[in-house]
């Protein structure tokens, strides 16, 4: 029998504790534990499902267990209850295994409590109080997306973002979501053109643009992310000189580039399936602050586009404030041609919802410099 301290569930509990009480990022904390573990491939995959799934469904798991909890348990016990509830309700783990293996991880003094709560969760059908609890999102995210997209599309997007993202590999071996690959295609870079990817880290779109034969410069204000661009350019064989630079104050001459891509910092509300803990970190005020930053970046990078050149703006979010509410940059006009399905017309740009093609959600706006 496996040592309880050396199982996928034990690893998941350690990571969840770091996320819930220590503020760790799910992907970084999980990677660190997996690097130290000796779990085989199947158990590593199970541990990953437990960590990401329990983190995404935290609110729903709490609702499942709180029906039977009289007083708030300490944080470590709360983590165990969430892990057990996730296995019972969402992971399809048989009740005897979900309960028994989770109870085995509990300190002896609370095993009876954890066992009693999880057995009642397993035996009692859930009546969800509302969609935000059922789908396990903060109220404000559900309200905002329903108001902007309509209830049908918003709930479908939120459901899809509760599932793990598929792995998509480009011909050059780089792993990149299809939505990001399509954004790079929509820049329509041509061989010999000079192109700036102003927010290039980690380099997926910059290397895709370089693969077209264009001369691509990658910029990123963070040294670490700029380093990722350099390494990914080397790995894919698509050269991308990299500059550590703030896209809101780019160190390039006016009119220097044929095309500029601004894949702007955003709330990431279209890519929540990739960042299991992001829904619990992002706040409503962040959207407003990011929208203000995006406008500064667009204004600054617009100056870099040559006459008749293109400025392409993209964000992996679904809010209008971070996309179609931005004014058309001074001296530009909207490119009339738009991509077809699965992209949808959206204001002056195009919208891709997560459920339309099992990709990240994305908005793209394309402008041509008119003077």
Report the catalytic residues: 316
Give dist(CA 16, CA 338) in Å, integer. Answer: 43
Q: For residue 319, what are its two tokens?
A: 């809010």
Give dist(CA 367, CA 259) in Å, integer. Answer: 10
Closest to 124 (Cα-Cα) out of 83, 68, 78, 80? 68
Phi/psi for 366 (5° steps) reads -125, 130
SS3 214: coil
Give dist(CA 276, CA 171) in Å, integer. Answer: 28
Closest to 208 (Cα-Cα) out of 186, 192, 227, 225? 186
Neighbours of 20 (CB within 10 A): 19
Which pairs count as long-range contacts for 157-162, CB under 8 Å and 24+ apart, including other chains? Answer: 157/270, 157/318, 157/353, 157/354, 157/355, 157/361, 158/131, 159/135, 159/355, 160/273, 160/354, 160/355, 160/358, 161/270, 161/271, 161/272, 161/273, 161/354, 161/361, 162/56, 162/57, 162/135, 162/136, 162/273
Task: List 197's β-bridge partners, or say none.
Answer: 218, 261
């Amino acid at each position: 029998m496996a040592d309880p301290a050396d199982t996928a569930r034990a690893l998941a509990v350690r990571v969840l504790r770091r996320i819930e009480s220590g503020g760790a990022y799910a992907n970084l904390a999980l990677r660190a534990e997996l690097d130290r573990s000796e779990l085989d491939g199947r158990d590593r995959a199970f541990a990953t499902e437990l960590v990401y799934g329990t983190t995404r469904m935290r609110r729903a798991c709490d609702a499942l267990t709180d029906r039977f909890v009289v007083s708030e348990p300490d944080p470590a016990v709360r983590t165990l209850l969430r892990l057990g509830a996730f296995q019972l309700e969402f992971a399809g783990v048989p009740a005897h295994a979900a309960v028994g293996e989770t109870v085995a991880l509990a300190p002896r003094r609370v095993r009876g409590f954890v066992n009693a709560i999880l057995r009642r969760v397993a035996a009692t059908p859930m009546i969800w109080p509302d969609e935000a609890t059922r789908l396990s999102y903060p109220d404000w995210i559900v309200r905002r997306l329903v108001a902007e997209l309509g209830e049908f599309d918003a709930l479908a997007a939120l459901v899809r973002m509760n599932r793990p993202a598929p792995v998509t590999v480009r011909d050059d071996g780089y792993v990149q979501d299809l939505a990001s690959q399509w954004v790079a295609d929509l820049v329509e870079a041509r061989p010999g053109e000079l192109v700036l990817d102003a927010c290039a880290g980690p380099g997926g779109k910059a290397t895709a643009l370089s693969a077209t034969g264009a001369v691509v410069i990658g910029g990123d204000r963070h040294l670490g992310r700029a380093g990722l661009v350099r390494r990914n350019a080397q790995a894919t064989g698509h050269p991308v000189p990299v500059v550590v630079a703030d896209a809101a104050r780019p160190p390039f001459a006016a009119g220097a580039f044929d095309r500029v891509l601004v894949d702007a910092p955003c709330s990431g509300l279209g890519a929540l399936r990739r960042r299991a803990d992001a829904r619990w970190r992002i706040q409503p005020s962040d959207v407003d602050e990011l929208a203000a930053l995006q406008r500064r970046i667009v204004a600054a990078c617009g100056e870099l586009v040559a006459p008749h050149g293109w400025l392409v703006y993209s964000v992996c979010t679904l809010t209008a404030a971070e996309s179609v509410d931005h004014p058309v940059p001074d001296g530009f006009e909207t490119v009339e041609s738009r991509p077809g399905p699965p992209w949808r017309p959206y204001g002056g740009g195009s919208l891709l919802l997560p459920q339309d093609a099992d990709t990240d959600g994305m908005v793209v706006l394309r402008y041509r410099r008119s003077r």
